[in-house]
Amino acid sequence: STASTAVVAQDEYKALQDIQSSGELKVCFDAGYMPFEMKAKNGEFIGFDIDLGKQMARAMGVKYVPVNTAWDGIIPTLLTGKCHVIMGGMTITAQRNMQVLFADPYIEIGQSILLNPKVAGEVKSYRDLNDAKYTVVTKLGTTGEGAIKRSMPKATVNLFETQTDAVLEVTNGKADAFVYDMPYNAVYAAQNEGLVTHLGEAFTYEPLGWAIRQGDTDFLNFLNSYLRQIKGDGTYERIYNKWFES
Ligand code: ARG
């Protein structure tokens, strides 16, 4: 039947063959997530994930092709073949891991909190936000959303399409707190001194990993070997220091 043919085709898909024959490594990410992927003024994409992807394409001898994708559609975009891999600060979660394969974590982070300064005197940890009088915001479909629902279920929650719109609610005083990946919050707090207070203690554990289609264990092996190599030879450290040390 057609259905079983489709299943076989999916199982036999090998990204490495397509990357080699096309000469392109197509990488999905969602720009705006500092310092992993941002759109520079000249329109170019820059950041930690972008540099890792470009370095990987160079090692493969192919061209790096950026595929900027809205977060809520990023897994479908991978699964329908519009990119070979998601390199976009994606947290490895059980739910996502039932849909995609994850390479070993390339960095470990956690959720932290940006507060409007008016509540900074009374909110000292995520536990204090577990109250309907506080409005907590984040980006739709992220682990920030899950963390709010788990760790502060009584809070009033507002979700936004982009992290920029969500965090703006806190700076303009419409929301009390923004829950998001700590590296983003650290950059944002540094760029907006006095406008937000960073509770910079991570309250979740989140390994971030590159995601590919299920069944493609050849590509998975490539990614893990490549990651081991750059972690051992100083390449990873050089790129990391460029984006994380100020
Ligand atoms: N780590 C979080 C998650 O997996 C947020 C990632 C957001 N990434 C992005 N490129 N906008 O849900």
Domain edges within the chain:
2-108+207-244, 111-199
Residues 6+ apart with CB under 8 A from 1: none
Residue ranges lining ligand 1, Cβ < 6 Å: 29-30, 33, 37, 71, 88-91, 142-143, 181
- At residue 12 the predicted structure's pLDDT band, cuts being 50, 70 and 90, is confident
Domain 111-199 fold is D-Maltodextrin-Binding Protein; domain 2 (3.40.190)
The pLDDT tens digits of the residues spanning 123-139 come to 999 999 999 999 999 99
- Give residue 90 CA to ligand 1 midpoint distance, Å: 5
Domain 2-108+207-244 fold is D-Maltodextrin-Binding Protein; domain 2 (3.40.190)
Helices (H) and strands (E) in the chain, counts: 10, 14
**ipTM > 0.95 (yes/no):** yes
The pLDDT tens digits of the residues spanning 46-78 come to 999 999 999 999 999 999 999 999 999 999 999
Best residue among 83, 90, 159 to mutate for probing ligand 1, ranked by most atoms within 8 Å of CB = 90
Confidence (pLDDT) at 4 = 53
- Give residue 21 CA to ligand 1 midpoint distance, Å: 30
Which atom of ligand 1 lies at the shortest distance from residue 31's CA?
10
The pLDDT tens digits of the residues spanning 79-105 come to 999 999 999 999 999 999 999 999 999
**pTM of the predicted model as reported, rounded to 2 decimal places:** 0.94
- At residue 35 the predicted structure's pLDDT band, cuts being 50, 70 and 90, is very high
Angle between helices 15-22 and 217-233 (to 10 degrees): 70
Angle between helices 48-60 and 217-233 (to 10 degrees): 110
Best residue among 49, 71, 106 to mutate for probing ligand 1, ranked by most atoms within 8 Å of CB = 71
Q: What torsion do the CA atoms of 71, 117, 187, 181 make, to the nearest 10 degrees?
A: -40
Taking all residues of the chain, what is their mean pLDDT, rounded to a whole number? 95
Q: Do domains 2-108+207-244 and 111-199 have the same CATH topology?
A: yes
